[in-house]
Amino acid sequence: MTGTKIIKGGTIVTASDTYKGDIVIEGEKIRAIGSKLKPYKGTEVIDARGKLVFPGGIDVHVHLQLPFCGTVSSDDFENGTKAAACGGLTTLIDFAIQSKGKRIMEAVEARRAEADGKVCIDYSLHGGITDWNDRTRREIKKAIDYGIPSFKMFMIYKDEGWMADDGILFNGLEETARFGGMIMVHAESVFILELLINRYHTPEMMKKYRAYAHALSRPYYVEEEAIIRAIKWAEVTNGNLYIVHMSTGGGADAVKAGREKGVNVWSETGPQYLLLEDSVFKKKNGHCYATCPQIKKKGDCARLWKGLRAGEVSIIATDTCTFTTKQKAMWKGDFTKIPFGLPGVETMVPLMYTYGVGKKRISLNRFVQLVSTNPAKLHGLYPEKGTIAVGSDADIVVFDPKKKVTLSHKKLQTNCDWSPFEGFRLQGYPHMTFSRGKLVAREGKFVGDVGHGRFVRRKPGGWKLLI
């Protein structure tokens, strides 16, 4: 239990308001908000003059210590959550992916055994469905009652044994909707993808295109077609569908069209799809940028920014799945062997502030909606998380909008020895991060305790609250 604190004189920013005020924190909760409040004797005063004070970022798409592509993603629950705290996040949601022949809840228990006691900020889990059968169907309600209302299905990853075909997706949408749950879908068109990968997976093509073959084998229509198909299944089942890591303008168009028809469909995108273009694969370390789905074109970035403003994209999330240069080197010139994934939790908030708010692509309140309030609402964490309100958890970022930082992996907490955003210039960086009232990071350095974070049980049906 931490003592009473007052964050004084900052500009408080929520999804709907921006105002000067003081926040009183008692233990883990926000107890009062007012202006020019007089601290009691013994209250710790945090001077926030000149700073923005907003709810901690919530990254709803993270893979820490994930066994994947023949290796394990390198930020584990301890270091990954330290990095997240340094970057202004106070909650993240990872995945418990079912193994063939096993229950979803076995995966949940295994993941919790890895994370509990190690995590430095709060976390939750999505289920990952890879083995659809009657037992899995019955488990959906159990998992939702336990506090896991969202389940990822993969339309690809056949070789990993993770793939859900259209029938499974259809069944999953029907069953989750019965209990207010949601299917999150990794939408890529498996057969076209296979065909294109085979086309580029020849010694000549790989010599010619090197890592760029990864981009060539995953053009926009690989994602767009799968999103359109998944939305159709959500429409006819009346299911609840969430498109993860959306990377294409065509995907945003499809979500918009689906929503206009009344389909329950939402989407997230990430900094890599907003700020990078597929020319990165032509760089010397181009293979390091391989992630899945692929980083696309300038026009896709522009359309996704538009979607963030207009509403067809509701959430910014990172899909963090960190691999070091040593792990990425496993490719040895073969683009099908690159471990897919990028680091992200530590840079999402400052990147989205600089390149979103700073470049006037989104307003300050929309920024808070996208990185905190909407993730909390849609994923069943609100109002404990995702806002600055009396009674909410004191998950708070005191953010310095003037601080200039040039991004370098060397200064970050992640154990990744490269960054996709190396050299990006930032204006605005987290000054302090509080997790349930406890200071966990200051000036990009972790100052909290290992094991402070808790598993958070989430509620179904959160989209009713969404902005």
Among 59, 223, 278, 319, binds ligand URP (CB under 6 A): 319
Q: Classify residue 62 by its DSSP letter.
A: B
Site string for ligand URP, 426-465 (x = CB under 6 A): ----------------------------------------
Closest by Cα among 157, 60, 72 to 114: 72
CB of 367 to ligand URP, least distance (A): 24
Grouping H, G, I as helix, E, B as strand and the rest as coil, residue 302 is: helix
Q: Is 240 left (phi over 0), alpha (psi -120 to 50) or beta?
A: beta
Cβ at position 342, least distance to Zn ion in Å: 10
- Is residue 151 a contact point for ligand URP (CB under 6 A)? no
Residue 291's binding partner among ligand URP, Zn ion, none (Cβ under 5 to 8 angstroms by kind) is ligand URP
128, 251, 341, 428: residue in contact with ligand URP (rule CB under 6 A)? 341
What is the rounded CA–CA span in Å between residue 455 and residue 377?
A: 17
Q: How far is the CB of 402 from ligand URP (least distance, A)?
A: 34
User: Is 188 a residue that touches ligand URP (CB under 6 A)?
Assistant: no
Q: 94 contacts which partner out of Zn ion, ligand URP, none, CB within 5 to 8 A by kind?
A: none
- In this complex, which beta carbon is closest to Zn ion, that of residue 291 or of residue 419? 291
Convert residues 265-294 into a mask of x (bound to ligand URP by CB under 6 A) and - (unbound). --------------------------xx--
Interaction partner, residue 343 (ligand URP, Zn ion, none; CB < 5-8 Å by kind): none
Q: Nearest approach, Cβ of 218 to Zn ion (angstroms)?
A: 12
Question: Given the complex with ligand URP, which of 292 and 301 has the nearer CB atom?
Answer: 292
Instruction: Determine which helix (DSSP H) or strand (DSSP E) holds 191, and give its type and residue range.
Output: helix 190-200
Strand-pair partners of 46: 7
Site for ligand URP in 223-262 (CB under 6 A): none
Take residue 128 and report the two structure tokens written for it. Answer: 């990952």
d(CA 38, CA 35): 9
CA–CA separation, 225 vs 253, rounded Å? 11
Binding residues for ligand URP, rule: CB under 6 A, are: 63, 186, 291-292, 319, 321, 340-341
